[in-house]
Chains A and B, each alone.
Chain A
Amino acid sequence: MDCPIKTQENREWLLDYSAGRLDRQHAVMIEQHMETCPDCARFVRDQRVVWEALGQWEPQEISADFNRRLYQKVGQAKPASWLQLLWRPLVPVVAACLLIVASVALHTPTATPPVESVEPEQVERTLDDLQMLRELALTPPQEAKTPQPM
């Protein structure tokens, strides 16, 4: 088999083997591999140390009145009233309605008139018109330009 540490494949077999949880077929494969792989052999040895150390950690006894305290809390937990039961399925509907109202309110036009969009051609035309007016103002009266009779 390929080395689980080097290939990163089936690495959990090493954990399971160290914990004694690997099935016999795969355990034999790991054992054969470890004969030629010092890295995996070291991994299993160190992991077993961790496993045994964790096994020494026993939790404390649970309080004798655990159940009594729990049932006291259970008794205090009132069942949902008919109003709560009725309200619960309505919550998403109400939330959706509120969202719609909020979005409508945000998009409603206000007293301020909307800014009209201005096309580039329109700007150019206006500038042309202004230029033409300026030229007209500078141009002398037409009569002055009348050629003198020969």
Chain B
Amino acid sequence: MGASLALDCDAQLMLRVKDGDGASFALLLDKYRVSVTHFLYRMVQDQPVAEELAQEVFLRVYKSRETYEPTAKFTTWLYRIATHLALNWLRDGKNERGQERLDEAADEGPVRELPDRAPSVEQRMVQRVKVDEVRRAVAALPAKQRAAVLMHKYEEMEYSQIAKILNCSESAVKSLLFRAYETLRVRLAHMA
């Protein structure tokens, strides 16, 4: 583990932040701002909340600089903070407003479009309905399963890293993912 940590340039940047180098913090922020905010958005499905939580993540990173020790990959630490905040937010029932937003969010957010041809209005509407179904299916997953799927699918993390972030065994992560994908396969089967 020591060897891999030695190569973790993010951890080295964080150690420079610890030494008072603000520019290194800016580099880490630029590198992970988008991915962390997107992860949180998919977790809580509310953009303003996701941004607030993402700010809290980076604020905690900054505040923890003096006590930071590179005992794990930097991204493991970063996503552990993000996941912790998101799970707490979901657990505390602060997502009621988010669910209302989800209900009325069918016309929100960009939809991935094929670049080689402009879709018609009808195609765009169909696409938005599909995306909304995906969001609902993900929102219906238990919070920990949701976090595991998002880290696996969008952050392309290894099972071992997801396990460290969720503080469980690798086999538990695989079980979480299998149950989650099983649910999604049933809910999204008609999208074939």
Contact = CB atoms under 8 A, between A and B. Distances in A.
Could you say which interface size class chain A belongs to? 20 to 34
Interface residues of A, dominant DSSP = helix
B177 A15 contact: yes
Interface string A32-60: 00000000000001110111111111111
Interface in B21-46: 29, 33-34, 37-38, 41-42
A56 B33 contact: no
A77 to B, nearest CB: 6
A77 B33 contact: no
B63 A77 contact: yes
Contacts of B178: 11, 15
A46 B111 contact: no
A54 B159 CA distance: 19
Interface of A: 11-12, 15, 19, 21, 45-47, 49-63, 66-67, 69-70, 73-74, 77, 80
Interface of B: 29, 33-34, 37-38, 41-42, 47, 50-51, 54-55, 58-59, 62-63, 66, 108-112, 127, 130-131, 133-135, 138, 149, 152-154, 156, 159, 174, 177-178, 181, 184-185, 188-189, 191-192
